[in-house]
Amino acid sequence: MQHITLIVILFFCGITTPSCNKPTVEVLTSEPSYQISEGKALNKFNPPNTLRINDTLLVDKTEITNIGYKEFLNWCKMTMDEKSNSYKSLIPLNLGTFSFTGGYEEIAAIEIEKVKYMWSEEYNYYPVIDITLQQALKFTQWRSDRVFEMILKKNGILKPGLYFENEVFTIDAFLKSEVYRKHKDIITHYPQYYIPSKKDYLNLLSAISNKKDKQAPSPSQEEIDKHFVNKGLLILPSKLSNNEGIDNQLYLLNSNVSEITTEGLAFGGNYTSTNQVLDEHTFYNIKLPSQMVGFRNFCKWVPIEDILTKSESNQF
């Protein structure tokens, strides 16, 4: 039996959008290369932007960035009325602006005017903030659909007019389609990005405890101070920037911004509490959305046969 084998070296999924009110977001960093080989399963390869920690644990190398979330919003404009509550509910608090308020003045030493933090190209590769758990979950499902759609298109499984030409591709719809039934012998898994739980983060910490090379060093206070002098922000950019390569490390896991869990907790340190020791105590309650909290995706390859078998059993 043949299995689709892919080596995907793009950041998210390479989907570009038509013109809209905001500049078109381009997330594709390089043309993906891929091949079809005998006897190699799709789940042996890493989905875009992820680092394989062990056989089952795949984690984003960086926090989700502004440019990634803007791609999501721009794509949603094509599929829903941007004046609708459904679309408006996806936009971060404060419309993606950032300012030091309340206690932040003491940290920042000065107060700055609000900046168009999410919309300005200058901050494209900074972590998206002011996100609710529901917004993060919707982004994550969208990302799973788009990455699998691109995998299928790049391998000639989806062609113009072959699938729902005027409809939105989703994994669920595809698995019910004639196209899937025709190619089910070679399409064995699909990528599922997800928001990690507290348990997922603890499993990650355990897995990297003896793999120091998997976690990039936290920025020094000197680096943070220098960035603030130059940019007026304590938040640092993610290491991933346009057309740059990605090292095989997790970036800013315990600094920069804390990260949302499925329980609505915040994991890790942020720009107000850098260089924390990461352990079972590094989770805290915080009112979301927050300018101190972003999110990171984990990912897994889901066996399609298991999902379909479970779906069929639930019908009885």
At 253-278, the pLDDT tens digits run: 887 899 999 999 999 988 887 556 78
Say whether pLDDT at 310 is over 60. Answer: yes
By CB atoms closer than 10 A (0-12, 13-18, 19+), residue 28 is middle
What confidence score (pLDDT) does residue 119 get? 84
Numbers of helices and strands, H then E, in the chain: 9, 10
Write out pLDDT tens, residues 175-234. 988 888 988 888 888 999 999 999 999 999 999 988 777 887 777 777 777 777 677 677
pLDDT for res 200: 96
* Residue for token pair 């804390």: 258
Residue 7 has what pLDDT?
A: 28
Instruction: Examine the pLDDT at 36 and tell me if it is beyond 50.
Output: no
Least confident segment among 16-25, 230-239, 281-290: 16-25
> Per-residue confidence at 98, pLDDT binned at 50, 70, 90?
low
- Kindly tell me the burial class for residue 308, based on how many C-beta atoms sit within 10 Å of its own C-beta (0-12, 13-18, 19 or more): middle
Question: For residue 10, is pLDDT > 50?
Answer: no
Q: For the chain, what is the mean pLDDT?
A: 75
Backbone torsion region of residue 243, taken as left when φ is above 0, otherwise alpha when ψ lies between -120 and 50, otherwise beta: left
DSSP code for 145: H
Query: Which pLDDT does position 299 carry in this prediction?
Result: 95
Domain that residue 24 falls in: 2-314
- Above pLDDT 70, what percent of the chain? 70
Per the structure, the count of domains in the chain is 1
**Whether the predicted pLDDT of 71 surpasses 90:** yes
Contact indicator for 51, 61 with CB cutoff of 8 Å: yes
